[in-house]
Amino acid sequence: MRFVSALVLGFFILVPYLLFSQGTGYLPENIVSNWSLNVGTNPVLNAVFYLFNHVGLKHLLGNLFIVLVFALLLEAVLNWKHVLAIFFSSGLIAGISFSLLNPFTFLAGASAAGAGVMAAALALRPKLALVLLLLSPLVIQFIIFPFSDYATNAQKHFLTTNQEKLASQYSQLVKENNLPQALVVKEKLDVVSKTKQIVVRGETRQEETPTDFWVHAWGALLGVLYLGLFKRKELESGRKEFEDIGRILLRK
């Protein structure tokens, strides 16, 4: 079966997030905090968990797109086990190194591991990878991010409408002294209000969370280093492809 790595990585990036976000598109604050990588908070387990922990829907979908696209390309050259090895070794080592040097910073997301996969694909199949590298930001910026904004705004509108409707029902039932039914409506109102709070907080957290250049650079470097250690023959083939690109550019 081809493209096993993309299926495996796509499953573990997407499915746990969807389950723990409970359909909101955003993880509750305590889960984001507990799964983030920091030397003071369970660094052994979180060195793996942080790779599948994302601060928001844009963060999730952007990383998912990069990982899937370049994992598919990389697996056309390497065995799927090597693709997974590159993903996890890049993410783990880059994340732990970053966390040790920045002990007061919490790290979340698959981007460092994705950078390792992307750099490895670029080193082995530079012609196609360069095209994908140029197209990916456009797809993310003009398709994925607008879709994420639309989905979030639609959900906030739906939750706000339900919240207002239930609040009105609750007030009316209290006035009518129908307390048993009022309590039922109040429970529903609390659930909707809590869900809306998770979405609003998640959207704010996503916009406020900075991106660090160095952890991505380390992830990319580790992806290429893996090839130098274990896949030198394929790396040499990629180098020749780079030389072909150089010759084409020099002719122009």
Cβ(22)–Cβ(98) below 8 Å: no
Give pLDDT tens digits for 46-62.
Answer: 999 999 999 999 999 99
**Residue written as token pair 């290429």:** 224
Higher pLDDT, 244 or 57: 57
The answer to which of 34-43, 63-72, 234-243 has the lowest mean pLDDT is 34-43
Is it the case that residue 243 has pLDDT exceeding 80?
Answer: yes
Decide: helix, strand or coil at residue 107: strand
Average pLDDT over residues 21-25: 91
Torsion-angle region of 105 (φ positive above 0: left; ψ -120 to 50: alpha; else: beta): beta
Q: Longest C-alpha distance within the chain, in Å? A: 86
Q: Residue 8 belongs to what H/E stretch? A: helix 4-21
pLDDT of residue 7: 96
Distance of CA 222 to the CA centre of its chain: 19
Measured in residues, the chain has a length of: 252
Tokens read off for 199: 């979405």
Cβ(199)–Cβ(25) below 8 Å: yes
pLDDT of residue 1: 58
Where residue 251 falls among pLDDT bands split at 50, 70, 90?
confident
**Residue written as token pair 């991505």:** 216
The fraction of the chain above a pLDDT of 70, given in percent, is: 98
Q: Which amino acid is at 167?
A: A
Tokens read off for 117: 């996969």
pTM: 0.94
Average pLDDT over residues 91-95: 96
pLDDT of residue 18: 94
Where residue 252 falls among pLDDT bands split at 50, 70, 90?
low
Cβ(123)–Cβ(221) below 8 Å: no
Where residue 166 falls among pLDDT bands split at 50, 70, 90?
very high
Decide: helix, strand or coil at residue 37: strand
What is the DSSP secondary structure assignment for residue 3, as one 8-state letter?
Answer: -
